[in-house]
């Protein structure tokens, strides 16, 4: 009957998560004196700017340390690292978006949006022409929405610089 009372949870990734959270909490606690201040003539301890953040971070450190101490398996194994990799996989798309943001002032909003759409469609494994057409029209719709309807000011691309003045103005305003 006692086994019925035990919680059944997944344990893959638990050790790296707790170790990472404990490390981050210890880092925050080590920085509390540089990031908050102590007022010498304060009326009470609870009124100190450092007190409540210090209490919260100290509780985090104690909780994660206690959790780690009470864990049955404290050393990460192969399944833990598989789980950690699954947590990190979405960061790839953050890097894709950062590349997009970096390249828009160089290539232009519309061309980069189309290229970004095509690249993500390809990366996600869709190979049919319909998917690329959908990405193309989605990119045009986004440019029309942001530049046309919302009036978002997006800097002109560097590749537009050598164009003749009227054509350059058109590209900067509408593409």
Q: What is the mean pLDDT of residues 122-138?
A: 96
Given a cut of 60, is residue 1 above it in pLDDT? no
Q: What is the mean pLDDT of residues 50-71?
A: 94
Cα–Cα distance between 18 and 83 in angstroms, integer? 13
SS3 letters across 45-94:
HHHCCCHHHHHHHHHHHHHHHHHHHHCCCCCCCHHHHHHHHHHHCCHHHH
Give the pLDDT score at 145: 92
Q: What is the mean pLDDT of residues 45-61?
A: 91
Which pLDDT band, with edges at 50, 70 and 90, does 37 fall under?
confident
Cα–Cα distance between 99 and 112 in angstroms, integer? 10
User: What pLDDT, in 10s, does the model give residues 156-174?
Assistant: 888 888 888 888 888 877 7
Give the pLDDT score at 63: 96
């Amino acid at each position: 009957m006692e086994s019925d009372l035990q919680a059944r949870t997944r344990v893959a990734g638990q050790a790296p998560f707790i170790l990472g959270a404990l490390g981050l909490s210890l880092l925050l606690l080590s920085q509390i004196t540089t990031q908050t201040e102590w007022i010498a003539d304060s009326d009470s301890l609870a009124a100190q700017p450092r007190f409540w953040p210090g209490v919260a971070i100290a509780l985090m450190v104690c909780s994660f340390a206690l959790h780690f101490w009470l864990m049955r398996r404290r050393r990460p194994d192969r399944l833990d690292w598989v789980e950690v990799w699954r947590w990190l996989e979405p960061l790839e798309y953050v890097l894709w978006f950062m590349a997009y943001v970096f390249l828009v002032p160089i290539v232009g909003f519309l061309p980069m949006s189309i290229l970004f759409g095509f690249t993500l469609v390809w990366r996600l494994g869709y190979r049919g022409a319909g998917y690329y057409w959908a990405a193309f029209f989605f990119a045009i719709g986004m440019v029309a929405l942001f530049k046309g309807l919302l009036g978002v000011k997006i800097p002109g691309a560097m590749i537009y610089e050598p164009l003749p003045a009227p054509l350059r103005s058109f590209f900067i305003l509408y593409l």
